[in-house]
Amino acid sequence: MIQEHLRHVEEKICQACDRSGRDRDDVTLIAVSKTKPIEDLKEAYRCGTRYFGENKVQEIMEKYPQMPGDVKWHMIGHLQRNKVKYIVDKVAMIHSVDSLRLAQTIQTEAAKEQVTIPILLEVNVAGEESKFGLSVEEVIPLTEQISTMKNIHIQGLMTIAPYVDDPEENRWVFRELKKISVDIEEKNIDNVDMYVLSMGMTGDYEVAIEEGATMIRVGTGIFGSRVHLL
Ligand SMILES: *Cc1c(COP(=O)(O)O)cnc(C)c1O
């Protein structure tokens, strides 16, 4: 099942790249394995998956020692400051930085571990009340503030687009995130890069690729639907 799903997603990625004149190698597929058992992750790993996305610190802590060392763990969910210390030495990237205080905590913990953490700023492009993330106006000021933190490297932006029936409805969201990243790039801020655009999920990753996504986060499209246990 997972193997077939991965093959299907891979085909769709290639088609979206072809349509938009992009190189397949410029898009990284992150397999969002939240709530899924370790056997499912291992199966995806056997099929070649190396990038896994999780949204809970606890789950990363449990799964991390059970998977091979070459797995790249991506923290994609809302991160509480008191939990940063558990993952700074484990994650390849934090996609969900949305406040100065969180960045300060990441800086402190990363300095203790003597590592530099690649991060993305999460932008709530559509302004949905229910979502975390910076408003569009907050992004540039926060980028400038975080740029001075030595153990943090801003590598781009992330957004979670609204849940829609027709992925075309989210095209403007992806276009807007791309535009913000170009605006920031033109400012040439020291210690800030904008080569990552993390956007697009199972329902809309093809449109996101057409609009410039360099990382897509696909969960149900690979692992099947999630059972929510409370
Ligand atoms: C769960 C999740 C995804 C994956 O969602 P699917 O619709 O299952 O592909 C992507 N990004 C974030 C931040 C998530 O929490």
Residue 208 beta carbon below 6 angstroms from any ligand 1 atom: no
Q: Which tens digits make up the pLDDT trace of 18-44?
A: 999 999 999 999 999 999 999 999 999
CATH number for the domain spanning 7: value is: 3.20.20.10
**Residue 230 domain-assigned (yes or no):** no
Model pTM score: 0.97
Residue 167 beta carbon below 6 angstroms from any ligand 1 atom: no
Residue 218 beta carbon below 6 angstroms from any ligand 1 atom: yes
- Residue 230 scores a pLDDT above 60: no
Average pLDDT, whole number, for the chain?
Answer: 97
Distance CA 33, CA 41 (A): 7
How far, in Å, from the CA of 10 to the mean position of ligand 1? Answer: 17
- Residue 223 scores a pLDDT above 80: yes
Total tally of structural domains belonging to the chain: 1
Supply the residue whose CA is at minimum distance from atom 10 of ligand 1. 217
Task: Tell me the residue range of the domain where 146 lies.
Answer: 2-223
**Residue 42 domain-assigned (yes or no):** yes
Distance CA 112, CA 5 (A): 40
Distance CA 164, CA 145 (A): 34
Supply the residue whose CA is at minimum distance from atom 7 of ligand 1. 202
Q: Which atom of ligand 1 is nearest to the CA of 95?
A: 13
Helix axes 100-113, 136-146, angle to 10 degrees: 30
Residue 200 beta carbon below 6 angstroms from any ligand 1 atom: no
**Residue 54 domain-assigned (yes or no):** yes
**Residue 229 domain-assigned (yes or no):** no
Q: Which tens digits make up the pLDDT trace of 90-123?
A: 999 999 999 999 999 999 999 999 999 999 999 9
Residue 55 beta carbon below 6 angstroms from any ligand 1 atom: yes
Cα angle for residues 158, 105, 198 (degrees, 5° grid): 10
Q: Which tens digits make up the pLDDT trace of 136-195?
A: 999 999 999 999 999 999 999 999 999 999 999 999 999 999 999 999 999 999 999 999
